[in-house]
């Protein structure tokens, strides 16, 4: 049963003002470093689709639709950059001000963490992974703030939070398995129990899956471009390498076969078989010469390869995951996509200072996705027996981040740090909330 909220002291004015000033500095710093935003090749294609009204499911058609809607506000990169920056600082801001309202000085940490390189470095880069992470941070922060408010505010917060969770799934459908944990929190708030979350898990995942199908192919009429088969191509290449036998449903010349089995495979990204010489012959033949990409032939070949060579499949997937979690992978995009040999902001002092800080942190665990995964798992363990206000937030936020990162073992096709960005924001916010713990009953187990 729910229990009445605990009385909280009036927030000291100095603490409130200090947090507000830090949040303002953080937002201004983000603008100074990144405005009008850093375009990548992915975001360039998305913006072109938005301007043409083209809808496909290779990237998120929801982000294409949204960008077309907001583009007049700041044509080009500006509108999407501002949206990302606003959701980023609203997430940190709402959470820190909620802690301030309870007299918690640890709230000062949140805006400071938001200005650290592992977090800030992606806040101005236009990737859907970044908008996905900031949207989920804001969803959790809204739920945390609304948990003990009046009924109509609480209901509004729950609705907004749940909408943002769904929006994240529409940006990143591979978040299907992570979304139910965050959805349970937005629905039951501090009254969430392990039993309730477990009961909700499968139905919620099915609802989110149905929402993707309905919005993508019903409402937006997106063209099917078969992004799931990129995973299969990557897996077929990896299994071929470790099994030392071609698993693709095509025949190669002797030199091509030798390259496929020995030289082409890298546990970094599937693009090696798509657009990078000399191994782009793989997709050239599968997509353009034979037309097999997007057909059941690829799916059948993938299933047969996994069943025939399960050890090789696990070797490939483990090699990829290790590289993703522990490798020195791309963090912040710095190239000008119109002039790739040049930096995007070559003369901007704030941008170059952040880049220098990232270079200094590159050898450290702070720029490794595995560090943030372990941090999320550890925070879940620490928060398990804490009062429900903190425990439910940490378990849902850090738990969803851990599940999200771990699902990349099976569906990941690239190793960029951005794919673990939700774990960075979750660990930072969850760690601070745990430090703000106060008396109360432990999380209900049933």
pLDDT per residue over 411-432, tens digit each? 999 999 999 999 999 999 999 9
Tally of domains within the chain: 2
How far apart are alpha carbons 376 and 394 in whole angstroms? Answer: 9
317 neighbors 410 (Cβ within 8 angstroms): yes
In this prediction, residue 356 carries a pLDDT of: 95
**Domain co-membership, 155 together with 106:** yes
**Domain co-membership, 183 together with 279:** no
**Domain co-membership, 258 together with 160:** no
* pLDDT tens digits along 138-157: 999 999 999 877 788 889 99
Task: Tell me how far the alpha carbon of residue 298 is from its chain's centroid.
Answer: 27
Which residue would you say has higher pLDDT here, 271 or 190?
A: 271
| Domain assignment present for 115 | yes
Mean pLDDT of 344-357: 94
**Domain co-membership, 89 together with 129:** yes
Domain, as residue range, for 264: 228-326
**Domain co-membership, 146 together with 31:** yes
110 neighbors 26 (Cβ within 8 angstroms): no
In this prediction, residue 443 carries a pLDDT of: 41
| Domain assignment present for 409 | no
**Domain co-membership, 56 together with 24:** yes
- Show which of 223, 253, 270 is a domain's final residue: 223
**Domain co-membership, 209 together with 320:** no
Q: Which residue has the tokens 């200090």?
A: 18
| Domain assignment present for 255 | yes
How far apart are alpha carbons 228 and 299 in whole angstroms? Answer: 9
How far apart are alpha carbons 296 and 402 in whole angstroms? Answer: 32
- Show which of 326, 359, 381 is a domain's final residue: 326
Most confident range, picked from 25-39, 95-109, 327-341, 383-397: 25-39
């Amino acid at each position: 049963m729910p229990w009445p909220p605990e009385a909280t002291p009036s927030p000291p004015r100095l603490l409130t003002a200090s947090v507000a000033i830090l949040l303002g500095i953080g937002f201004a710093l983000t603008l100074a470093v990144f405005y009008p935003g850093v375009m990548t090749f992915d975001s360039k294609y998305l913006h072109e689709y938005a301007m043409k009204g083209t809808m496909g499911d290779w990237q998120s058609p929801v982000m294409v639709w949204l960008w077309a809607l907001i583009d007049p506000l700041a044509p080009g990169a500006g509108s999407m950059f501002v949206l990302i920056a606003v959701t980023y600082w609203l997430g940190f801001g709402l959470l820190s001000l909620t802690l301030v309202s309870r007299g918690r000085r640890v709230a000062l940490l949140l805006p400071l963490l938001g200005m650290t390189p592992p977090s800030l470095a992606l806040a101005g880069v236009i990737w859907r992974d970044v908008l996905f992470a900031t949207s989920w941070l804001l969803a959790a922060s809204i739920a945390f703030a609304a948990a003990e408010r009046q009924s109509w505010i609480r209901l509004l917060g729950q609705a907004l939070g749940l909408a943002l969770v769904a929006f994240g799934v529409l940006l990143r459908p591979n978040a299907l398995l992570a979304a139910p944990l965050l959805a349970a929190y937005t629905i039951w708030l501090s009254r969430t129990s392990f039993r309730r979350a477990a009961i909700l898990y499968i139905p919620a995942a099915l609802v989110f899956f149905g929402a993707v199908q309905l919005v993508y192919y019903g409402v937006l009429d997106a063209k099917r471009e078969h992004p799931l088969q990129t995973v299969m191509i990557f897996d077929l290449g990896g299994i071929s390498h470790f099994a030392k036998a071609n698993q693709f449903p095509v025949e190669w010349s002797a030199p091509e076969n030798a390259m496929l089995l020995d030289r082409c495979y890298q546990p970094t990204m599937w693009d090696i078989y798509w657009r990078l010489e000399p191994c782009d012959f793989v997709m050239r033949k599968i997509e353009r010469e034979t037309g097999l990409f997007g057909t059941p032939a690829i799916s059948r070949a993938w299933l047969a390869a996994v069943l025939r060579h399960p050890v090789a499949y696990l070797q490939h997937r483990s090699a990829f995951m290790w590289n993703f979690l522990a490798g020195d992978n791309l963090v912040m995009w710095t190239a000008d996509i119109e002039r790739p040999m040049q930096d995007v902001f070559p003369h901007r002092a704030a941008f170059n200072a952040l880049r220098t800080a990232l270079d200094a942190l590159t050898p450290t665990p702070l720029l490794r996705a595995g560090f943030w995964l372990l941090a999320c798992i550890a925070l879940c363990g620490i928060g398990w027996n804490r009062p429900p206000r903190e425990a439910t937030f940490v378990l849902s936020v850090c738990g969803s981040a851990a599940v999200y990162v771990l699902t990349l073992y099976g569906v990941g096709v690239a190793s960029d740090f951005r794919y673990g960005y939700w774990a960075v924001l979750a660990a930072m916010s969850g760690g601070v909330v745990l430090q703000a713990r106060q008396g109360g009953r432990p999380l209900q187990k049933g």
